[in-house]
Amino acid sequence: MIDFEIPEEDRALLDAIDRMMAREFPPEAYRQADLAHQTPWHLLPRMGELGLLALPFPEAVGGLGKDWRSAALVNERLAYHAGIAATLFGTTVSFGGMSLLNYGSGEQKRTLLPRLMEGRARFALALTESAAGTDAGAITTHARRTESGWRIQGRKTWISNADAADYLVVACRTEAGSQGSKGVTMLLVPRGTPGITMTGLDKVGHHCMPSYDIGFDEVEVGDDAVMGEVGQGFRHAMSTLHYSRAGQAANAVGQAQRAVDLAVAHAKERRQFGQAISSFQAVQHKLADMQVRVNQARLALYHLAWLIATGRPCRLEAAQAKLVATEAFQFVTRSGMQVMASAGYAMESDMQRMWRDAGLYTFGEGSSELQRNLIAREMGL
């Protein structure tokens, strides 16, 4: 039976997050950053000082040795305050840290994990291409051997936070004629390597998390850039997907709870026909449905975190948590906009920002349709 009691140590950590976010990135700062399309990178070192980025890593590599249940709670609480804060935490820990821990070389671990846990190393996963999104095995970016390493040629697109990343984790086809998941290698490429060009992409939401189209024109890296085994990159990447899906689910749950709380507060304050609109059954039912969806998603998230923490298989549950949480996030922000009406539609409203941002979650890092396919496969269908 899963114990849902939050340990005192974790409660203290969540309280510390509340204080840090109130001080370093209060709601008004988030609104301004969204309007200015600015990423609050200053939060990463603050997370490092609190020990947040070291949470799930073993003590042997300088981590705190906590399990993924603590990481999920931290991610959710950061998201409640600011989705971008949870995104920075999640991508740093999963795309960067867990990739290094699970299939990085000894030297990569020694060099980069300490910097990452201090909030001084930034990573971006360069996987998606124009014809390789949900079908990640369709990548065409390739790397061919040289006398000293590898030469990369190709394009990646919709790569988040690539401009400020210290390293790009790049999926390349390294075996001529290979198809699908075979013959793919993960390369750790310093962002400033000659031959890399980036073009910013405009989008509806997530203005604090810029996305880029990236060109690799004869980009040369050494053999020390290889992460894991040559030709096994797809398997390596899939081995860490449950971490990123848990992160996405936690991020969605935290923001969704914030949206519910904003809608409830507005409904209690807004008066029509001589009474607060929270007294109308139609509004009460909408708010109740919103909270139910968030609670369902939170249970799926905590179940997944428990499975990861206890080393159990979780392919189905990772897809399930990502699916339920991201669709709940869309549902509650859409419903919240209806409850708040013009007050939610105003640009100074946090609800409209979450509503815009929620659109990404049901297709980013694996669409809802793909999650349903994975769940059906695990059911033997």
Q: Can you tell me the distance from the alpha carbon of 269 to that of 279, in angstroms, rounded to the nearest whole number?
A: 11
Is residue 331 within 8 A of residue 360, CB to CB? The reply is no
Residue 143: partners with Cβ closer than 8 Å, 6 or more residues away: 150, 151, 152, 153, 172, 173, 174, 185, 187
Residue 345: predicted pLDDT: 95
pLDDT confidence of 95, banded at 50, 70, 90? Answer: confident
pTM reported for the whole predicted model:
0.94
Q: What backbone phi and psi angles, to 5 degrees, belong to 47?
A: -65, -40
Alpha-helical runs (H) found in the chain: 8-24, 27-36, 43-50, 68-81, 83-91, 99-103, 106-117, 233-239, 241-269, 281-309, 315-340, 342-345, 350-361, 368-378
Q: Can you tell me the distance from the alpha carbon of 244 to that of 68, in angstroms, rounded to the nearest whole number?
A: 12
For residue 198, the cross-strand partners are 214
Measured in residues, the chain has a length of: 381
CATH class for the domain made up of 240-378: mainly alpha
DSSP 8-state code for residue 129:
B
Residue 247: predicted pLDDT: 92
Can you state the angle between helices 27-36 and 350-361, rounded to 10 degrees? Answer: 60
DSSP 8-state code for residue 229:
S
pLDDT confidence of 214, banded at 50, 70, 90? Answer: very high
Residue 155 has pLDDT above 90, yes or no: yes
Q: Are strands 275-276 and 271-272 parallel, antiparallel or unpaired?
A: antiparallel
Is residue 116 within 8 A of residue 94, CB to CB? The reply is no
DSSP 8-state code for residue 66:
-
Residue 351 has pLDDT above 90, yes or no: yes
pLDDT confidence of 39, banded at 50, 70, 90? Answer: very high
Q: Can you tell me the distance from the alpha carbon of 142 to that of 184, in angstroms, rounded to the nearest whole number?
A: 9
Residue 267: predicted pLDDT: 98
pLDDT confidence of 260, banded at 50, 70, 90? Answer: very high
Q: Can you tell me the distance from the alpha carbon of 162 to that of 255, in angstroms, rounded to the nearest whole number?
A: 24
Does the CA dihedral 318-46-349-208 come out positive or negative? negative
Residue 3: predicted pLDDT: 83
Is residue 294 within 8 A of residue 328, CB to CB? The reply is yes
Tokens of 124: 């971006």
Residue 139: predicted pLDDT: 86
Amino acid at 247: G
Q: Could you confirm whether 365 is annotated as catalytic?
A: yes
Selection from 59, 56, 70, 68 nearest residue 17 by Cα:
70
Q: Can you tell me the distance from the alpha carbon of 135 to that of 2, in angstroms, rounded to the nearest whole number?
A: 35
Per-residue pLDDT reduced to its tens digit, 292-316 = 999 999 999 999 999 999 999 999 9
Q: Can you tell me the distance from the alpha carbon of 186 to that of 152, in angstroms, rounded to the nearest whole number?
A: 11
CATH class for the domain made up of 124-231: mainly beta
**Domain map of the chain by residue range?**
8-121, 124-231, 240-378
Does the CA dihedral 46-253-100-54 come out positive or negative? positive
Q: Can you tell me the distance from the alpha carbon of 264 to that of 252, in angstroms, rounded to the nearest whole number?
A: 18
Q: Can you tell me the distance from the alpha carbon of 248 to that of 352, in angstroms, rounded to the nearest whole number?
A: 20
Q: Can you tell me the distance from the alpha carbon of 244 to that of 246, in angstroms, rounded to the nearest whole number?
A: 5
Tokens of 354: 């979450």
Residue 357: partners with Cβ closer than 8 Å, 6 or more residues away: 83, 205, 206, 255
pLDDT confidence of 366, banded at 50, 70, 90? Answer: confident
The one catalytic residue among 107, 327, 365, 378: 365
Looking at domain 8-121, its CATH superfamily turns out to be Acyl-CoA dehydrogenase/oxidase, N-terminal domain (1.10.540.10)
